[in-house]
Chains A and B, each alone.
Chain A
Amino acid sequence: MNPLGLYAPGTSPLHRTPAGPKLLGLMVFVTVVVILGTVPWLAGACGVAALGYLVARPPWTRVWQVLRLLIVLAVLVGGLQLWLVGLEPALVTVLRLVAALAAANLFTLTTRIDAVVAAVEHGLGPLRRFGVRPEQLGLLVGLTVQAVGTLAAIAGSVREAAVARGAGRSPTAFAVPFVVRTLRHADELGEALAARGIGDTANDADGDSGDTGDTGDTDGPADHRAPGAAR
């Protein structure tokens, strides 16, 4: 369902590396791949990524999923580049793309989202004094990864519905329900997150213990303030 794959449980050294250093390693790797501009070096980078897969030993079906996607992408992008700018630039682009995507996917395969979220929160901790809220950014990372799978699922079921009505080729028969369902999902997700206490700030949580008594009758009806505004 999710084209980029998700965590595949395992016990390899790559699985055991803490998420923070691994994320940092991935960022360095991708930066290097972007800077490198020659075919042999980039081929080497692809080799390193491939070696990573040998170490991590994810299930073959998952590797094949990614490989299929990479091949399609490589053929499309490579073909276009070959036609537009020639063989060598085409190879550079394709190898760069393959190395970066393969490495990023390896990270997803070997790292729990929970751990990524915790690592992002931890890494951004020092920025708290500048008003950054690391918990929220961590959650954002987690939800973004999740959104890939969710949107793919919505797209799949909307396409099925369009085909069932004989409108498989109509762009509006796809786009309208897709947007509506996505927005409705966003609403429901927002409610579910609010119900789980997300967005209730730590201050709120601390401040509440002190004033749990009856708020009295002075607060009139038609009270429409935001939660927490009373303080």
Chain B
Amino acid sequence: MITYESVGHRYDDRTVLDDVTLALPEHRVGLVGANGSGKSTLARMVNGLVRPTSGRVLVDGLDPTEQGAAVRRRVGFVFTNPDSQIVMPTAGEDVAFSLRRTVRNRADRAARAAEVLAAHGLEGYADHPAHQLSGGQKQLLALCGMLALDPDVLVCDEPTTLLDLRNTRRFAEILRGLRQQVLVVTHDLDLLADFDRVVVLDGGKVVADDAPAPAIRHYRDLVA
């Protein structure tokens, strides 16, 4: 459960978020809005990457500002660009890197990493140079790096922006099968069609909060 309690955020005199209050218990929640509407900032607050300048955020009762480490163990985060999320040279090593704290033995860690890769469509890629994977495979690898930690919540900031249609569908398919609560920031409105709830932001405020169809309709009207 993610809750925002009158959360505000400003950089100098520019207001990014203005008094946002939301309780998100749903399994799959989408955040949409124009560039600069504050949706990425809202998502980054879930694991303490950005701190509210007023109000507070709670993830399962924990405040990311106060208990960052505990929150980050519960929250996985997938960014837009997989190139900056992959920190190790091979796919297997990168997933194993996530497991450094939890799996002490190196051989066990490599085996576990290979399992996670296999479970998400990257079977046999453990020894493959990570930066020679296709864009879609890289994003799957970034996702594997997060899922290896078995978080309770997965936040994705425009995860399919750099992917082609096939890989976007594949990514959506994997998201659909996750036990994790998923919070997705996206411009890809199709991705949200079967979500439980979609929140529309505009100018740092929530302007619609509904089932996907009416929420997306509102967003389209906003642009028109």
Which residues of A pack against B, CB within 8 Å? 1-2, 6-7, 9, 112-115, 118, 135, 142-143, 145-146, 149-150, 153, 185, 188-189, 191-197, 200-201, 204-205, 208-209, 211-215, 219, 221-225, 227-228, 230
Contacts and interface: CB of A to CB of B under 8 A. Distances in A.
B-side interface mostly: mixed
Contacts of B54: 221-222
B38 to A, nearest CB: 17
Contacts of B56: 219, 221, 223
B87 A143 contact: yes
Contact of B69 (A118, A195, A200): A200
Given A6-B89, A114-B93, A115-B106, A215 B63 contact: yes
A212 B55 CA distance: 19
B61 A219 contact: no
B62 to A, nearest CB: 6
Nearest to B80: A188
Q: Which 8 A-B pairs have the closest CB atoms?
A: A227-B68, A188-B84, A200-B69, A208-B70, A195-B77, A204-B69, A221-B54, A114-B93
Given A114-B88, A209-B70, A211-B67, A149 B131 contact: yes
A208 B84 contact: no
B49 interface: yes
Contacts of B106: 114-115, 118
B133 to A, nearest CB: 12
Given A149-B131, A196-B145, A219 B66 contact: yes
B87 A197 contact: no
A63 B57 CA distance: 53
Given A1-B132, A114-B110, A197-B101, 10 more contacts: A6-B89, A113-B89, A146-B87, A189-B87, A192-B87, A196-B146, A197-B73, A222-B53, A227-B64, A227-B67
B90 A228 contact: no
Interface in B31-88: 44, 47-49, 51-56, 61-70, 72-73, 75-77, 79, 81, 83-85, 87-88
Contacts of B84: 185, 188-189, 191-192
B125 interface: no
Contacts of A150: 83, 131
Interface size class of B (residues with CB under 8 A): 35 or more
A227 B62 contact: no
B69 A208 contact: yes
Interface of B: 44, 47-49, 51-56, 61-70, 72-73, 75-77, 79, 81, 83-85, 87-90, 93, 96-98, 100-101, 106, 110, 127, 129, 131-132, 145-146, 149
B134 to A, nearest CB: 14
Given A115-B106, A142-B88, A143-B87, A225 B65 contact: yes
Nearest to B64: A227
A191 B49 CA distance: 7
Contacts of B146: 195-196
Nearest to A223: B65
A112 B90 contact: yes
B49 A145 contact: no
A224 B66 contact: no
Nearest to B60: A212
A113 B93 contact: yes
Contacts of A192: 77, 79, 84-85, 87
9 contacts: A113-B93, A114-B97, A146-B89, A150-B131, A153-B83, A191-B79, A191-B84, A192-B87, A208-B70
